A and B are shown apart, each in its own frame.
Chain A
Amino acid sequence: MAGAENNISFHEMFHIQGGNFTNAGLISSQVKKILKGAGFSGGVIRRASIATFEAEMNVICYANQGTISLFITPNFLKVVVDDEGNGIPDINLAMKEGYSTANEEIHELGFGAGMGLSNIKKNADQMILTSKLGQGTHLEFIISLERKDKLVPLCSSRE
């Protein structure tokens, strides 16, 4: 039907607990399973997995809690990440490779390289990042689907 090209065919939201390194990577893993089940190409799955993993780790490392929402339309995937926390004082600085505000615990686990946001930017087709000091951060990114992707109909919105 005309104009339906951006209709959401699938939507799921996940909750993240800040500081919970035990479950780190769990959500991006679930997102990956969903995308694999939907039959997307390896390239799309890899890029979406990497960007979602980095976004998830940012919430765990730096925020109190947050949510990741995955939206699937016929033409693109969209991931929206909202967190509650201190926010980002200088987004340009945060985007710079190597800049990190990670503490020792984060570094010991191999996180806090200061490359998460740039990895998201590299793997997404579009990215928006906004933040309010003392409140939290909003991130959304879009990954365009290649035309040859075969889409398997998924369940409608699960909430």
Chain B
Amino acid sequence: MTVFDIVKSFGLKIRAGENRLGEEVTGGYAGDLLSDVIAHGRKGNIWVTIQTHPNIVAVATMKELAGIILAGGREPDSDTLQKAEEEEMPILVSSLFTFELVGKLYQKGISGTGEC
């Protein structure tokens, strides 16, 4: 399943990184503490968060994540959008809250990184 498949499936709004939606998603991680995502996120994961500041792009790029989905209808800061375009990091917005979004992603076959 690619990032684009997820966008279509969930009706996500694309805010950045339109040119990089073809990447295959390896799994998912949900979290709002950046060092936690740095520690446990995996390359190619789709990241669900409610953080909207530019450091989410730094983290996603460092960990080579497939993209970021902002839950609960949150919108990225303008600085975040600029950085995301520079790094070609997809930022998508979902109106679903984190719990629902992750549950539905899981149902679609996007699994987590297991136990710590």
Contact = CB atoms under 8 A, between A and B. Distances in A.
A85 interface: no
Contacts of B39: 97, 115, 118-119, 122
Given A109-B51, A109-B53, A49 B35 contact: no
Given A24-B55, A25-B54, A25-B55, A50 B36 contact: no
A46 interface: yes
A50 B39 CA distance: 10
B55 A119 contact: no
B93 to A, nearest CB: 17
Given A25-B55, A25-B58, A53-B58, A111 B34 contact: yes
B58 A113 contact: no
B58 A115 contact: no
A110 B38 CA distance: 12
Secondary structure dominating the interface of B: helix
Given A49-B62, A50-B62, A53-B62, A115 B55 contact: no
Interface in A1-60: 24-25, 28-29, 46, 49-50, 53-54, 57
Interface residues of A, number: 22
Contacts of B64: 46
Interface residues of B, number: 18
A54 B55 CA distance: 11
Contact of B38 (A24, A54, A114): A54
**Residue of B33, B35, B55, B63 most packed against chain A (CB within 10 A):** B35
Given A50-B62, A53-B62, A110-B33, A115 B54 contact: no
Interface in B52-103: 53-56, 58-59, 62-64
Given A46-B62, A46-B64, A53-B62, A113 B54 contact: no
B32 interface: yes
A50 B33 contact: no
4 cross-chain pairs, A with B, having the tightest CB-CB distances, nearest first = A113-B33, A115-B35, A113-B35, A110-B51
Interface of A: 24-25, 28-29, 46, 49-50, 53-54, 57, 97, 109-116, 118-119, 122
Interface of B: 32-36, 38-39, 49, 51, 53-56, 58-59, 62-64
